[in-house]
Amino acid sequence: MQWLAVAGVIGALAALLITGLAFTGDIAPVGVGKAAPNFTATDIYSGDTTDLAAYRGEVVLLNIWATWCLPCEQEMPSMQRLYEELSPTGLKVVAVSIDTGDPAAVREWVETRKLTFPVWHDPSGRIERLYQTTGVPESFVVDRHGVVVKKIIGAAEWDHPAQQALIKRLLAGEPVEPASPDGG
């Protein structure tokens, strides 16, 4: 009788292993040196559906965030300053809210903080699955070829000289070695 229980446990573990292996090929990990997957989201102001492909050929700071996230709120002022300084030279900033509620609440949150860069809304969480985020905020610096050159898990000081230097080099068309994920 005991061997039946052991056989059942082994069978269940084998089924989980096989199922897990079947799912590992569905989405390749998004990391430094990999192509940034395209996704669609809704612009919080126009209500239009837009996608990352619209920015191909541009240097993009892609930020995944939520209104309830304190570290997200803490990094937004520095992201705004970076945007103000470098958008005239070509930097595109896209902040994608993963809030599941009404986009009007996201818009109000953004307006209260006087953020002027594009903000998109993805209540479906598709971007989280595509980019395999582990939380918010997570940010990806994408070069003109659509390749992730830096991934930051957690809040960052976007107007810090090191962050600015990386983005300025990308904007100037200089080659950049992909950087490992860090906390900002």
The CATH number that applies at residue 96 is 3.40.30.10
**pLDDT tens sequence across 59-73:** 999 999 999 999 999
Containing domain of residue 137, as a range? 27-171
Domain assignment of residue 180, yes or no: no
pLDDT in tens, 109-140: 999 999 999 999 999 999 999 999 999 999 99
For residue 53, being part of any structural domain is answered with yes
Which DSSP string do the residues of 25-94 spell out, in sequence order? TTSPPP-TTSBPPP-EEEETTT--EEEGGGGTTS-EEEEEE-TT-HHHHHHHHHHHHHHHHHGGGT-EEE
- Quickly tell me which residue has 């993009």 as its tokens: 60
In a domain, 177, yes or no: no
Residue 122 lies in a domain: yes
Number of domains in the chain: 1
In a domain, 2, yes or no: no
Nearest Cα to 27, choosing from 98, 129, 127? 129
pLDDT (tens digit per residue) in 128-181: 999 999 999 999 999 999 999 999 999 999 999 999 999 999 999 998 887 656
Pair 179, 150: CB distance under 8 Å: yes
